Structure 1
Amino acid sequence: MTQDIFSTQDELRDLIDAYAYLGDEKKISEQMRLFTEDAVYQVYMGDFLVANVSGTANLEKEFNGHAALVKTYFTMNGQHTVHVGEDTASGISFSQIKMIREPEGKRNITDYSVRYEDQYVRQNGKWFVKERIGYFVIIEERLLA
């Protein structure tokens, strides 16, 4: 591997980590800057497509609506494998996401085990997410003590 490939891998890892950090902090408008304007974001829960959003304006509305229902997010990123072209790349990453909600005054925690399949594009020397598909493979919800 060349130094350019290593640098690109680091940049792409930083991109998905920034996505997690900003999401956990509910900095949605800043998170949108990680996507291309025409980005596509899809979510599967098991075999069912539950979200299919295009464009950062629509995506920001969707994320803000969801964030309003969640008191606390906590994300841990795991493996991240990428295949790099000149100005495009694809990647698979894994995340554990915890969300605390308080419906009816009760604290519930939901644990999500997620596999993301991403398409990235480099524009003006910077990498962005062009497409992100989240596969929520394991979902566990329980009352938080």
Structure 2
Amino acid sequence: MTLEILKTKEELRNLIDDYAYLGDEKKIAEVMALFTKDATYTVYMNGTQIASTTGTDVLEKEFNGHAALVKTYFTLNGQHTVKIDGDKATGTSFSQIKMVREADGKDNITDYSVRYDDVYINTAGKWLISERTGYFLIIEARSLNN
């Protein structure tokens, strides 16, 4: 493995970690800067496609709408594997995401076990997400006891 490949793998790992950090902080405009302008984001829950969005303008509106309903996000990234082919790469990463929402005066937490399949593009020396497909494989919701 060359030094260049190791550097690229680190940059791609930092990209998905930045997505989690910024998302948890609800810095949606900064999250959009991690995507190509024409990026596609698709979501599957329990094997059914529930959303597919193209373009960061639309994606930003959707992310902001969702973030307005969530009191707290907490994301923990796990393994991340990539295949690099010049200025294009594909990757698979796994995340545990917790979302706290309020309903009827009570906090509820939903735990998501997610696999992301990504396509990354290097544009002007910076890696960006061109396509992201999220597979929400396990979903558990319950009251949060504070």
**Shorter-chain-normalised TM-score: which range?**
over 0.9
TM-score normalized by structure 1?
A: 0.99
TM-score normalized by structure 2?
A: 0.99
**How far, CA to CA, are the matches of 1:44 and 1:34 in structure 2?**
21
Which residue pairs with 2:68 in the alignment? 68
**How far, CA to CA, are the matches of 1:54 and 1:66 in structure 2?**
16
Which residue pairs with 1:130 in the alignment? 130
Which residue pairs with 2:22 in the alignment? 22
**Mapping 1:1-145, distance limit 5 Å:** 1-145=1-145
**How far, CA to CA, are the matches of 2:104 and 2:33 in structure 1?**
34
Q: Could you list the runs of 4 or more consecutive aligned residues of structure 1 that deviate by over 3 angstroms after TM superposition?
A: none
Q: Which runs of 5+ in 1 are unaligned?
A: none
**How far, CA to CA, are the matches of 1:110 and 1:59 in structure 2?**
22
**How far, CA to CA, are the matches of 1:105 and 1:41 in structure 2?**
32
Deviations 1:53-88 (A, max 9, x none): 000000000000000000000000000000001100
- The one-letter code sitting in structure 2 at the alignment partner of 1:113 is S
Deviations 1:12-39 (A, max 9, x none): 0000000000000000001000000000
Aligned length: 145
- The root-mean-square deviation of aligned C-alpha atoms, in Å, is 0.4
- The one-letter code sitting in structure 2 at the alignment partner of 1:128 is L
Q: Which runs of 5+ in 2 are unaligned?
A: none
Percentage identity across aligned positions?
Answer: 66
